Structures are given as structure tokens and as C-alpha cells.
């Protein structure tokens, strides 16, 4: 268990630090391009300091250790036959549901049909999160993940306030993603 626990702490904290660093890049290098006011930059940095905090809650902690181990076995070790220990899959699913409902960078923070409105800060933090995952898995930017996974999951569904809010979210997220694409081009990572 101590090896799985260490892996969980290391992976989770590295992820959180990547998200925070990505936000720092946006508010320092791209605030003019994103038309962010100083107060919006402050709010973004304030919010990102609590990124994924719920992963250490009682509801998520142990299941997320198992989820981290699951992905470690599959992606790092190539053990495609790895399965959760008996009875753990349901706990992991509940923990993921709890996480999505607890964190402002997940649209599931609103219950379906509620009149919640995702704001620009939520959308930008979500992009920083997607970018951190792209970095973890060796991709230059999160554009492909956004197009292939995130967008189809949330496009035109009832997580968002209305069609206009969805349009705003698309614009905000694409603007932030383009900043990371600019970073990758600048560093010579994308042709």
C-alpha cells in the first residue's frame, strides 16, 4: 500500500503544480491576449491554489489511490489486464462523481437542469487542467484532448446555463488553448 500511496501523492501533487504553473503562464504571459484584468488574474490564481483539493477529502482519497494505480498499471507498466481489486470500481466511480461535483473546473459542479452558469475563470482553469494532463502524457498541448474527449462530452448538453453560455465557454477555452499552442510553437515543439 505504501508504494501506491506514494505514487498517488506524487502524481496528484505534480498534476496540481502543473495546473498552477499553467495558470501562471496565462496570467503573466497572456493576460493581454486574453484581455484579463488584474482582478481577474488575482481571482484565477486564488482559485487555482485550491485545484483538486477534494482529492484529499475522505470521499475521494482512498478510491483515487486505486484510480491512480489503475492508470499506472495500464499506461506506465503496459499491464492491460490489470483490474481493480474486488468492490473498488464502484467506489472509484462514486469518488469521481463526488470530485466532479466538488470542483469548479468540472461542468458537473452543476446538477443537470440547474441554472448554474460556468464563468470564464472556470473555463480557463479547466484548460489549465487539460493542459496539465497533456503534459503528463507527453502531448504538446491539450487541443486534441479538448476536441476528441472534452468537447463531445459537454457540447450542447444541459450542464450549461444556455446556448449563449456554451458559446462563451467555447470561445474562452479556445483562446486559452491557443496560448498553450503558442507556447509549444515558441519552444519548437510543434511544426
pLDDT (tens place) for every residue of the chain, 191 residues total: 699 999 999 999 999 999 999 999 999 999 999 999 999 999 999 999 999 999 999 999 999 999 999 999 998 899 999 999 999 999 999 999 999 989 989 887 776 555 567 789 999 999 999 999 999 888 878 999 899 988 888 776 666 666 767 788 889 999 999 999 998 776 655 44
d(CA 127, CA 158): 20
The whole domain housing 8 covers: 2-52+110-186
Report pTM.
0.89
pLDDT at 114: 57
Based on the domain organization, do 178 and 139 belong to the same domain? yes
Tell me which of 84, 102, 120 is where a domain ends.
102
Direct distance between the N- and C-terminal alpha carbons of the chain, in angstroms, rounded to an integer: 43
Based on the domain organization, do 136 and 166 belong to the same domain? yes
Based on the domain organization, do 68 and 137 belong to the same domain? no
Instruction: Name the DSSP letter for residue 111.
Output: P
Based on the domain organization, do 28 and 63 belong to the same domain? no
Based on the domain organization, do 63 and 130 belong to the same domain? no
Based on the domain organization, do 133 and 182 belong to the same domain? yes
**Would you say 26 and 47 are in contact if contact means Cβ atoms under 8 Å apart?**
no
Is 166 within a domain? yes
The Cα-based distances of 117 to 128, 165, 169 in angstroms read 19, 7, 10
Based on the domain organization, do 76 and 128 belong to the same domain? no
Is 85 within a domain? yes
Based on the domain organization, do 86 and 137 belong to the same domain? no
Is 8 within a domain? yes
Is 177 within a domain? yes
d(CA 4, CA 101): 25
* Length reported for the chain: 191
Based on the domain organization, do 132 and 161 belong to the same domain? yes
Based on the domain organization, do 66 and 155 belong to the same domain? no
Based on the domain organization, do 169 and 125 belong to the same domain? yes
pLDDT at 186: 64
Give the number of domains in the chain.
Answer: 2
Among residues 130, 115, 99, the alpha carbon closest in space to that of 23 is found at: 130
Amino acid at each position: 500500500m505504501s508504494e501506491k500511496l506514494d505514487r498517488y501523492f506524487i502524481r496528484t501533487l505534480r498534476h496540481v503544480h502543473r495546473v498552477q504553473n499553467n495558470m501562471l503562464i496565462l496570467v503573466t504571459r497572456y493576460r493581454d491576449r486574453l484581455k484579463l484584468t488584474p482582478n481577474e488574474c488575482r481571482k484565477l490564481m486564488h482559485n487555482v491554489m485550491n485545484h483538486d483539493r477534494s482529492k484529499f477529502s475522505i470521499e475521494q482519497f482512498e478510491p483515487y489511490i486505486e484510480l491512480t494505480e489503475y492508470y499506472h498499471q495500464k499506461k506506465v507498466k503496459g499491464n492491460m489486464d490489470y483490474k481493480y481489486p474486488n468492490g473498488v470500481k464502484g467506489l472509484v466511480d462514486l469518488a469521481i462523481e463526488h470530485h466532479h461535483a466538488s470542483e469548479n473546473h468540472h461542468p458537473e459542479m452543476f446538477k443537470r437542469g440547474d441554472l448554474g452558469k460556468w464563468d470564464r475563470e472556470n473555463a480557463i482553469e479547466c484548460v489549465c487542467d487539460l493542459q496539465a494532463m497533456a503534459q503528463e502524457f507527453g502531448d504538446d498541448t491539450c487541443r486534441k484532448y479538448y476536441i476528441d474527449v472534452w468537447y463531445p462530452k459537454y457540447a450542447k448538453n444541459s450542464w450549461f446555463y444556455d446556448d449563449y453560455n456554451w458559446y462563451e465557454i467555447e470561445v474562452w477555452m479556445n483562446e486559452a488553448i491557443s496560448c498553450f499552442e503558442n507556447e509549444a510553437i515558441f519552444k519548437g515543439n510543434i511544426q
